[in-house]
A and B are shown apart, each in its own frame.
Chain A
Amino acid sequence: MSLLEFCQWLAATPASIALRESHYLYLAILATHVLTLGVFLGTALIVDLRLLGLMMRSVPVSEFLSRLLPWTVGGFVVMAASGSLMFFATPVDKYPNLFFRAKLLLLVFAGITVWLFNRTVRLRIDEWDRDPVPPAAVRATGGLSLVFWIGILVAGRMIPYQQYWF
């Protein structure tokens, strides 16, 4: 079974058809996806700006990670769930969409950045927790994650405009 065949099979399931044709439910999921951006990217932006040493330099980074990051994670869960539902409703449209593919690729990059942060610099956070401007490796993960998340936003927003670009 190819990926396209899988998408076609998914699109033919009763639940996918129901969601695709339930005009208002689909739009409600889309609205949830877009508005949760304010929570997810909003708080991620603040955490990343602190990792870059550009904001609230007197506050230890660990405080952002323990007190603000849970909101980022919560926002991400809502976005991932609503995003998956939208893919589930229209898999055959999304599959060939280059912006959708770019978004998935960037999601992998963002995931790797978060994983790297957790597996490397975060393990030694005691050494730089109170640095007004954290070490270069920390700033790199903060900056990269910001670039990837904004890239994901741009790619996501462009999904409906694929036919105008290509």
Chain B
Amino acid sequence: MSLLEVFHALESLPLLVAMRGSPWIFPVIATLHLIGLAIIGGAVLVVDLRLLGLGLTRQPVAQLARSAEPLLLTGIAVMLLTGPWLFMCFATKYYYLTPFWIKLASLVLVLVFTFTVRRRFLLGSAAAHRQRVPLAVTSMSLWLCVAVGGRLIGFP
């Protein structure tokens, strides 16, 4: 079974057919997905801006990161709970869209990066000052790729 056939089978599940038939289920899930974007945006920016010497500069990085983490996890949870439904509704459409695969790859990268390299750096000793800028730039660029990819695959 090829990947395209898997996507086709997903899309054809009775539940997904019913979801597509509803005029409001997809928009409502898409709206929740957008709220997730705002939550992640805030949680990532408040820490990454701090690493760039902007925003809440008077707070220690580790403390800021700890405060922002529940918000970040909430945002990611909202996205992971809503995103797959949006995907499954139109799986075969996304199969052919390059931005979809770029989004997926960036998402895997940014999640791994956030919960390994970035997290360890933020909660560890603040000694490595020189790594702050590349860390923030990498984090923000990867999230931007995910967001732009997400916007592009929604276009008609």
Interface SS majority for chain A: helix
Kindly state the separation between the CA atoms of A43 and B42 in the bound complex, as whole angstroms: 5
Interface SS majority for chain B: helix
Residues of A within 8 A of B (CB): 27, 30-31, 34-35, 37-46, 49, 55-56, 59, 63-64, 67-68, 71, 150, 153-154, 157-158, 161, 164-165
- Measured between beta carbons, the chain A residues less than 8 angstroms from B59 are 56, 59, 63
User: What is the chain B residue whose CB lies nearest that of A163?
Assistant: B23
Q: Is the CB of B45 within 8 A of A153?
A: no
A148 shortest CB reach to chain B, Å: 14
B30, B56, B144: the one within 8 Å of A59 (CB): B56
B34, B144, B155: the one within 8 Å of A37 (CB): B34
Q: Is the CB of A68 within 8 A of B46?
A: yes
User: B4-12, B83-91, B118-126, B146-154: which one contacts chain A?
Assistant: B146-154
Kindly state the separation between the CA atoms of A45 and B39 in the bound complex, as whole angstroms: 7
Q: Is the CB of A46 within 8 A of B27?
A: no
B30, B31, B45, B155: the one within 8 Å of A39 (CB): B45
- Measured between beta carbons, the chain B residues less than 8 angstroms from A150 are 35
- Measured between beta carbons, the chain A residues less than 8 angstroms from B67 are 55-56
A112 shortest CB reach to chain B, Å: 22
A142 shortest CB reach to chain B, Å: 14
Kindly state the separation between the CA atoms of A38 and B140 in the bound complex, as whole angstroms: 11
Given A34-B34, A59-B56, A71-B49, A42-B43 contact (CB < 8 Å): yes
Interface hits, B72-126 → A, CB 8 Å: none
- Measured between beta carbons, the chain B residues less than 8 angstroms from A49 are 71
Q: Give the number of residue pairs across the A-B interface with Cβ within 8 Å.
A: 95
Q: Is the CB of A68 within 8 A of B55?
A: yes
Q: Is the CB of B56 within 8 A of A68?
A: yes
Residue pairs across A and B with Cβ atoms less than 8 A apart, 17 shown, are A30-B151, A31-B152, A35-B147, A38-B37, A38-B41, A38-B143, A39-B41, A40-B38, A46-B42, A46-B46, A56-B59, A63-B58, A153-B31, A153-B35, A157-B30, A157-B34, A161-B24
B102 shortest CB reach to chain A, Å: 14
Q: Is the CB of B56 within 8 A of A42?
A: no
Kindly state the separation between the CA atoms of A67 and B58 in the bound complex, as whole angstroms: 9
Q: Is the CB of B41 within 8 A of A42?
A: yes
- Measured between beta carbons, the chain A residues less than 8 angstroms from B147 are 35, 38
Q: Is the CB of A31 within 8 A of B57?
A: no
Top 5 A-B residue pairs of the complex, sorted by shortest distance between their CB atoms: A38-B41, A42-B41, A42-B42, A164-B23, A41-B38
